[in-house]
Structure 1
Amino acid sequence: MTVHDTLRSARDSLFRFPGVQRAVRLATMRGCVPNAVWKRLHPTGVWTLRAPDGSGFHYASDADDILARSLVWTNMRHWEETTHPVFFDLARSARGFVDVGAFSGIYTLLACRANPRLRAVAVEPNPAAMRKLRRNIEVNRLQDRVVLVEKALSGAPGRALLGIPSDTTAASLLAAEPANDTVEVEVTTGDEAIGDVPVDLVKIDVEGLEPEVLGGMSRTISAHRPTIIAECLDGAALERLRGTVLELGYRRIRHLGKRGVAPAPPGFVPPPRYANFLVD
């Protein structure tokens, strides 16, 4: 073992102590830790996060939850910070919420925190991510309010290969980037997964399959016309989404970016870090 390896091992051992992690979090939230530093440190254990209204909820981070760094160290200030306050306000009045591509369930947790009467359906086909999601539902005691669906959504039922890249939050049925691993998963439609839940709000993060997912929930959309928040990583994905939602009867797509909720006209290209769009 080299000196560098020894020092790194000592650092990692020290960082496992909860008191050290709490000190890092406090310093980061005060702006004393540079982004380049906290983004390399990984929180573990159960943490309290604050929703946009200041109320608390729990988030369980394990050793390979790469999303946890942005959530825990900065209390979500560097994670979709132009989206989750808008989402939280929408969830206050929603009867039901569908989280498509839920990963660890952060949007499901926010929705349930916003509205104690809301029911949620959280869809996540990646088995490793589903373990994180299930744990977060358990630590927040939401088992009676959240239905977990360990399947992928698309336009028709079946089976498919899920590609899991190094960024495990970007697992997809489409090979948008090289996959470190693949797993065969069951595929269903949104209408089948949702059942009789009266859905007023949908969040979709499926790395390019948004049109197929929306096509598979046409019955739900016809019955309830939910507000949709969807991620589009480039202009081509945005135009595919635009064509789909216009066919489904929606009238506008707006960008959730640094300028707030703003128009996203044809030809609009999502800037880095701000790739979410509001459809209503």
Structure 2
Amino acid sequence: MKELVYRLIYWPPLNAVLLAINKVLRPVLPGSFRLPPSGTIVVDTGRSRFRMATNQTCYLTQLVYWNGFDGFEYSSIFRDLVNDMQCFIDIGANTGYYSIAAATLNSKIQVHAFEPAYGPLHYLKTNVALNDLEDRLHVSDLALSDQQGSIKFFETGSRKFPWVRHVLAGDGSLLRSDDRAVVMERDVRMDTLDHYVKKYDIRNVDLIKVDTEGTEPSILDGAEETISRDMPIIICETLYNTTESELDRRLKAWGYVIYKHLPNGLERASALERAKDDGVRNCFFVHSSREGVLARFMSTSTKA
């Protein structure tokens, strides 16, 4: 019975009606009651609009739907940062939120989006087509790392919605975690960013985003030549007590400076490692020679 109710709630035509009702009743409902969207949502960046197909297992689109573009992670910074970029590399693109935002905000940018996870890859391709971006947004199912070949990739299912074929939890990884219920283990193609860039003669890489659930250091190792050549700004997920020391060591050796993303902007940091979890989940790394590019995004407390 519960499954039938869930299937009805997340049937796209009915879900759209329920979302509208949820919005109307939002002032009187508990703050945590925000129905996840299932179907297609419209994202307004303030300078462009794009559509995203999604389902109820995607926390990203739930947050974007209810909090808006500016209310999700570092979207407000990304909007202005990407405006003058020529090439954006999105590693761990998930369903394409940042890739599609970049392509709709900047009509001249070339985007290369990497996503080996089965569910997110399906929706990534769907969303690229939905926004007619096939000419500038190139999708790859490669798992980037520091070597070439094939490797096991681990994905989880949804305990709440076990019938959903394309799960969008965003936690697929080359690393197997004991606290995750792995329901799919498969071989994926693996490559380095350096090899990919050479193969397709990609130039002027201005921005790299890496969000791969713990494999960020090996990905950057496989991108060292590209990073040395183009000195791109790097946006990287930095989870507490996981890859911080490795990322810190690599990026400092390459002449990069650390900026932590806070709710009100960026704050320069001397190191990534923290004595306790301060809630910071994303950091911006910029080469010391280009540090001024991030000056306008500094947090208000830092400016003061």
In the superposition, the TM-score normalised over structure 2's length comes to 0.79
1:92-122, CA deviations, whole angstroms, 9 ceiling, x for partnerless residues?
1110000000010101011112211000000
> Structure 1 residues 20, 240: CA separation in 2 closer, same or farther (over 3 Å shift)?
same
Partner of 2:17: 20
Greater mean deviation of Cα atoms: 88-97 or 9-18: 9-18
Q: Which secondary structure does the structure 2 equivalent of 1:271 belong to?
A: coil
Is 1:48 the equivalent of 2:42?
yes
Question: How far did 1:247 drift?
Answer: 2.1
Q: Which secondary structure does the structure 1 equivalent of 2:89 belong to?
A: strand
Is 1:217 the equivalent of 2:211?
no
Distance in 2 separating the partners of 1:130 and 1:26: 30
Question: How far did 1:182 drift?
Answer: 1.7
Question: How far did 1:10 drift?
Answer: 9.1
> Structure 1 residues 156, 140: CA separation in 2 closer, same or farther (over 3 Å shift)?
same
1:177-219, CA deviations, whole angstroms, 9 ceiling, x for partnerless residues?
4233222111001122333222100100011111110111122
Q: Which secondary structure does the structure 2 equivalent of 1:169 belong to?
A: coil
Q: Which amino acid aligns with 2:61?
A: A
Partner of 1:253: 258
Is 1:271 the equivalent of 2:264?
no
Q: Which secondary structure does the structure 1 equivalent of 2:33 belong to?
A: helix
Distance in 2 separating the partners of 1:76 and 1:25: 19
Distance in 2 separating the partners of 1:210 and 1:6: 37
Q: Which amino acid aligns with 2:40?
A: V
> Structure 1 residues 249, 126: CA separation in 2 closer, same or farther (over 3 Å shift)?
same
> Structure 1 residues 14, 63: CA separation in 2 closer, same or farther (over 3 Å shift)?
closer
Structure 1: gaps spanning 5 or more residues? none
Q: Which amino acid aligns with 1:171?
A: G
Q: Which amino acid aligns with 1:150?
A: D
Distance in 2 separating the partners of 1:86 and 1:77: 9
Is 1:128 the equivalent of 2:119?
yes
Question: How far did 1:234 drift?
Answer: 0.9
The aligned runs of 1:155-234 (5 Å cut-off) are: 155-166=146-157, 168-176=169-177, 177-178=179-180, 179-194=182-197, 195-197=200-202, 198-234=204-240
Partner of 2:32: 36
Partner of 1:65: 58
Distance in 2 separating the partners of 1:104 and 1:170: 12
- Taking only aligned residues, the RMSD between alpha carbons, in angstroms, comes to 2.6
Distance in 1 separating the partners of 2:17 and 2:114: 34
Q: Which amino acid aligns with 1:246?
A: K
> Structure 1 residues 6, 94: CA separation in 2 closer, same or farther (over 3 Å shift)?
closer
Q: Which amino acid aligns with 2:184?
A: D
> Structure 1 residues 22, 168: CA separation in 2 closer, same or farther (over 3 Å shift)?
closer
Q: Which secondary structure does the structure 1 equivalent of 2:77 belong to?
A: helix
Distance in 1 separating the partners of 2:43 and 2:28: 19
In the superposition, the TM-score normalised over structure 1's length comes to 0.86
Give runs of ≥4 in structure 1 deviating > 6 Å: none
How many residue pairs match? The answer is 269
